[in-house]
A and B are shown apart, each in its own frame.
Chain A
Amino acid sequence: MTGPYQGALASVARQRGILGAMVVDANDDIIVDAAVRHGVKAPTVAALAASIYRKARQSAGAAGLGDTTFLRMEAEQGHIFAAGRGALVLIALAESTVNVGLVRLAMLQAASGLP
């Protein structure tokens, strides 16, 4: 893998149970770079998750809580994680059995290294 975002993507994607990781433009909700398993509807997941992250950011700001650093959505069969930095959002899609703590740590570290 090459490119400025591949390090961040690889550090998240190599966690057990991760189905895909994407770097998404936080304003346009469009994928900048991604490493996802076959069958993942990456553009759809990216657009919707980045949109939710943006709303969460606005909500936290409106509540006076500061910036949103990490967001986890739990569904019946898995999780969606999001961590932002500047104009980018790192999004990961994971199975329900994933180690949430490890993924959170990996996501925050990877997001802090985004350009």
Chain B
Amino acid sequence: MTVAVAETWVEEPLRRFVDEARVLFALLIHPSGQVLGQHGFTRAVDVMSASALAAAIHASGSAIGKEMESAPFGELHHGGAARQIFLARTPTPRGDLVLLSVFDRSSSVGLVRVYFEELRGALAAAAPAAAPSPGLAATFEQELNRSLAALFGRAEPVGQPVPDA
């Protein structure tokens, strides 16, 4: 399975998740919408749309969770007729990340959850030394474009964490 990454430390955990969970699409993003890795997308514009929507859904879910349970919801599953989405937050030493995955009948939400737990552990172990999560700063758009360029081969993925904003 092919995964494209903007930061090299997410590559192996994401590749393993995609291989084992048999998802059609996977998108690993920062809650701000900045993309760290993806599988299945062929156009940058689709990655941009999906990451923006995933970030928005995650933000909404977190807000509703705080209202209802005093804590953000950790996972969201939506079962469609042919395809399903699983969206979940994963904490790492570099801050929370969000995984969006899309799968069909060749997988299941149970399997995706099992392998997502493994992904969480692998990301937490692979993450570079703790650093504050990047926020929306003056360089945000630049970083967004850089990560998209890296995902589609127009720039090298970084082997180091993204500099703090």
Q: Is the interface of A mostly helix, strand, loop or mixed?
A: helix
B57, CB-defined interface residue at 8 Å: no
Sample 8 A-B pairs with CB under 8 A, ordered by A number: A28-B110, A29-B108, A30-B108, A30-B110, A43-B114, A47-B108, A47-B111, A48-B111
A97 within 8 A of B: no
- 4 further contact pairs, Cβ within 8 A, besides A44-B117, A51-B111: A25-B110, A28-B79, A28-B108, A47-B114
* B-side contacts of A28, CB under 8 Å: 79, 108-110
How many residue pairs link A and B with beta carbons under 8 A? The number is 34
On chain B, the number of residues with a Cβ less than 8 Å from chain A's Cβ atoms is 8
Complex-state Cα separation, A24 to B108, whole angstroms: 12
Q: How many residues of A contact B (CB 8 A)?
A: 14
Measured between C-beta atoms, what is the minimum distance from B75 to chain A in Å? 12
Let me know if A48 and B114 touch, CB within 8 A: yes
Q: Is the CB of B114 within 8 A of A30?
A: no
Chain B residues with CB under 8 A of A27: 108
Chain A residues whose CB sits within 8 angstroms of the CB of B111 once the complex forms: 29, 47-48, 51
Residue of A43, A44, A46, A54 with highest tally of chain B CB at under 10 A: A44
> Can you list, as one digit per residue, whether each of A32-75 has a CB less than 8 Å from chain B (1) or not (0)?
00000000000110111011001000000000000000000000
Nearest chain A residue, comparing its CB with the CB of B107: A51
Residue ID in chain B nearest A55 by CB atoms: B106
Minimum C-beta distance from B107 to chain A (A): 8
- Cα distance A44–B111 in the bound complex, in angstroms: 8
